[in-house]
């Protein structure tokens, strides 16, 4: 039985560890005693480790056959580098800001497979596009709409963070890249709002976020590509107000004789309001639309997802959809279904015949079901 070390015992990391435990020997590493206690209560082996330190990462993964990365985005690149330097293959959901291909030479030198960005989006939508790219003659457009939201809308933000809140704020500040008429264009995050109706949910608003990531490099021939995040109507304006007023700025300012980062103050106030308490129910909605040509004819493929909180296991939908995509990729690698060396964004996985079918079926076994549009 392969030994999998999960780095990070947060909401998503914990869900992945529990999902992998029946099939692998699993160890969960984190420095939070409370998080590790929750894992121990679930019968999992734990390891106290400082994952902000490369040496701590290397020590944590020393006995692993495969590593799953689930640390906050600002730690992700350094953590992935340490894992590769330790000579371990990796499947990662940390969504770090740095260019993942900066680690490609290291991964190849070590003869390792490292799948990055392997969550729901980025993640599943990359795999879907990769799968269609090997079947169609040409792809002309790609659009993803995706969001994770609380079932109960609570004033003032009507939002709860299903993953690391600091990574949510990154979505609201990082410039957005998408492809229009064959050219990469850059817009501010939260731009181009649209109101869209979804069956069973009603009206949500969409806005630009930087979710294409590696797809821009992997598919330079696709003339139109866009990813947008979904929230309840009104959320965009509140986040724009905070951003434009400077509340997301990292540079310190002096207030009453004290130097403080506006972002530190904002997170201290916001995160308790965004924290998902035990039993808080959420849902994930996603729509992936791809158009192109096959056998000389226009084709269009749309996949829809509406996933909800699992009351039986008390697992959030965001942890399910993000985490179970990652664990499906782990199972795919373990059975030899994907072995490409180097840094591999999820679209590389999708280009392997049968990979998307395997991952889609693995998700469906856990109740995460994509339906045809």
d(CA 65, CA 91): 12
The pLDDT value recorded for residue 171 is: 85
Please give the DSSP secondary-structure letter assigned to residue 53. Answer: S
Please check whether residue 267 lies inside any domain of the structure: no
Please check whether residue 113 lies inside any domain of the structure: yes
The pLDDT value recorded for residue 239 is: 94
pLDDT digits (tens, 9 = 90+) for 191-228: 999 999 999 899 999 999 988 999 999 999 999 999 99
Tell me the DSSP string of 223-292. SEEEEEEEE-TTHHHHHHHHHHTTTT--S-EEETTEEE-HHHHHHHHHHHHH---TT--EEEEEEEEEEE
| pLDDT of residue 83 exceeding 70 | yes
Residues 6 or more apart whose CB falls under 8 angstroms from that of 160 comprise 149, 150, 274, 275, 276, 280, 282
CB 271 within 8 A of CB 306: no
d(CA 68, CA 126): 19
E strand map for the chain:
3-7, 25-30, 45-48, 66-69, 90-92, 113-115, 138-150, 176-180, 183-187, 194-198, 202-208, 224-231, 253-255, 258-260, 282-294, 297-308, 342-344, 370-372
99 and 153 inside one domain: no
155 and 278 inside one domain: yes
Enter the tokens of residue 284.
């994930």
Buried b (16+ CB within 10 A) or exposed e, 329-357: bbbbbbeebbeeebbbbbbbbbbbeebbe
The pLDDT value recorded for residue 246 is: 95
Please give the DSSP secondary-structure letter assigned to residue 119. Answer: B
137 and 280 inside one domain: yes
Across 332-357, average pLDDT: 97
241 and 156 inside one domain: yes
Where is the domain boundary, 257, 282, 308? 308
Helix, strand, or coil (residue 305): strand
| pLDDT of residue 250 exceeding 80 | yes
d(CA 170, CA 271): 14
Q: Provide the pLDDT confidence category of residue 163 given band limits of 50, 70 and 90.
A: low
The pLDDT value recorded for residue 360 is: 98
Across 132-160, average pLDDT: 95
Please check whether residue 109 lies inside any domain of the structure: yes
Closest among 6, 48, 54, 12 to 27, alpha carbons compared = 6
| pLDDT of residue 233 exceeding 80 | yes
Helix, strand, or coil (residue 339): coil
pLDDT digits (tens, 9 = 90+) for 27-49: 999 999 999 999 999 999 999 99
Count of structural domains, the chain: 2
Does residue 95 or residue 287 have the better pLDDT?
Answer: 287
β-pair type (194-198, 183-187): unpaired
The pLDDT value recorded for residue 142 is: 98
Please check whether residue 331 lies inside any domain of the structure: yes
The pLDDT value recorded for residue 54 is: 97
Say which CATH number the domain at 188 has.
Answer: 3.30.360.10
Where is the domain boundary, 308, 333, 363? 308
The pLDDT value recorded for residue 95 is: 87
Please give the DSSP secondary-structure letter assigned to residue 316. Answer: -
The pLDDT value recorded for residue 223 is: 98
Residues in the chain: 373
Please check whether residue 159 lies inside any domain of the structure: yes
Q: Provide the pLDDT confidence category of residue 276 given band limits of 50, 70 and 90.
A: confident
The pLDDT value recorded for residue 162 is: 65
CB 20 within 8 A of CB 4: yes
| pLDDT of residue 1 exceeding 80 | no
Please check whether residue 290 lies inside any domain of the structure: yes
The pLDDT value recorded for residue 53 is: 95
Please check whether residue 253 lies inside any domain of the structure: no
Give the domain extent around 207.
131-245+274-308
Please check whether residue 186 lies inside any domain of the structure: yes
Residue whose entry in the numeric block shows the structure tokens 């310190």: 252
Task: With both helix axes pointing from N to C terminus, report the angle between 262-274 and 165-173 in degrees, rounded to the nearest 10.
Answer: 120
The pLDDT value recorded for residue 275 is: 87
Residue ranges in 118-214 assigned as alpha helix (H): 124-133, 165-173
pLDDT mean across residues, the chain: 95
148 and 289 inside one domain: yes
28 and 81 inside one domain: yes
Across 89-112, average pLDDT: 95
154 and 237 inside one domain: yes
Across 65-73, average pLDDT: 95
194 and 295 inside one domain: yes
Closest among 236, 221, 232 to 142, alpha carbons compared = 221
The pLDDT value recorded for residue 211 is: 87
159 and 241 inside one domain: yes
Say which CATH number the domain at 113 has.
Answer: 3.40.50.720
168 and 302 inside one domain: yes
Q: Provide the pLDDT confidence category of residue 161 given band limits of 50, 70 and 90.
A: confident
**Across 155-169, 231-245, 274-288, 311-325, least confident range:** 155-169
Where is the domain boundary, 284, 308, 332? 308
d(CA 179, CA 211): 12
d(CA 117, CA 122): 6
300 and 365 inside one domain: no
Peptide bond into 156 cis (omega under 30): yes
195 and 232 inside one domain: yes
Q: Provide the pLDDT confidence category of residue 97 given band limits of 50, 70 and 90.
A: confident
Q: Provide the pLDDT confidence category of residue 167 given band limits of 50, 70 and 90.
A: confident
d(CA 125, CA 361): 15
| pLDDT of residue 328 exceeding 80 | yes
């Amino acid at each position: 039985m392969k030994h999998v070390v999960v780095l990070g015992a947060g909401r998503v990391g914990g869900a992945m560890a529990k999902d992998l435990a029946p099939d692998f020997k699993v160890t969960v590493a984190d420095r939070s005693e409370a998080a590790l206690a929750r894992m121990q209560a679930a019968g999992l082996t734990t390891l106290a480790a400082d994952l902000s330190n490369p040496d701590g990462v290397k020590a944590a993964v020393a006995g692993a056959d495969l590593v799953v990365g689930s640390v906050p985005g600002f730690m992700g690149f350094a953590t992935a580098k340490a894992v590769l330097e330790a000579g371990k293959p990796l499947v990662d959901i940390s969504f770090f800001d740095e260019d993942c291909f900066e680690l490609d030479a290291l991964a190849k030198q070590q003869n390792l497979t490292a799948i990055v960005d392997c969550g729901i989006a980025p993640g599943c939508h990359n795999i879907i596009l990769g799968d269609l790219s090997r079947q169609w003659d040409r792809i002309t457009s790609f659009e993803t709409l995706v969001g994770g939201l609380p079932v109960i809308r609570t004033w003032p933000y009507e939002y709860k963070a299903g993953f690391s809140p600091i990574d949510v704020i990154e979505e609201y500040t990082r410039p957005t890249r998408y492809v229009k008429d064959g050219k990469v264009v850059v817009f501010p995050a939260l731009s181009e709002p649209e109101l869209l109706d979804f069956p069973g949910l009603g009206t949500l608003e969409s806005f630009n976020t930087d979710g294409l990531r590696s797809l821009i490099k992997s598919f330079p021939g696709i003339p139109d590509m866009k990813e947008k995040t979904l929230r309840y109507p009104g959320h965009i304006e509140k986040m724009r107000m905070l951003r434009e007023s400077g509340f997301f700025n990292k540079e310190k300012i002096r207030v009453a004789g004290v130097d403080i980062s506006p972002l530190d103050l904002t997170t201290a106030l916001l995160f308790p309001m965004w924290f998902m308490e035990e039993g808080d129910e959420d849902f994930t909605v996603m729509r992936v639309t791809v158009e192109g040509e096959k056998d000389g004819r226009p084709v269009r493929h749309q996949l829809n997802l509406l996933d909800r909180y699992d009351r039986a296991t008390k697992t959030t939908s965001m942890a399910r959809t993000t985490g179970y995509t990652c664990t499906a990729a782990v199972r795919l690698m373990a059975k030899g279904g994907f072995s490409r060396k180097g840094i591999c964004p999820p679209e590389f996985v999708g280009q392997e015949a049968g990979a998307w079918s395997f991952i889609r079926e693995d998700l469906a076994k856990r109740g995460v079901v994509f339906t045809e549009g």
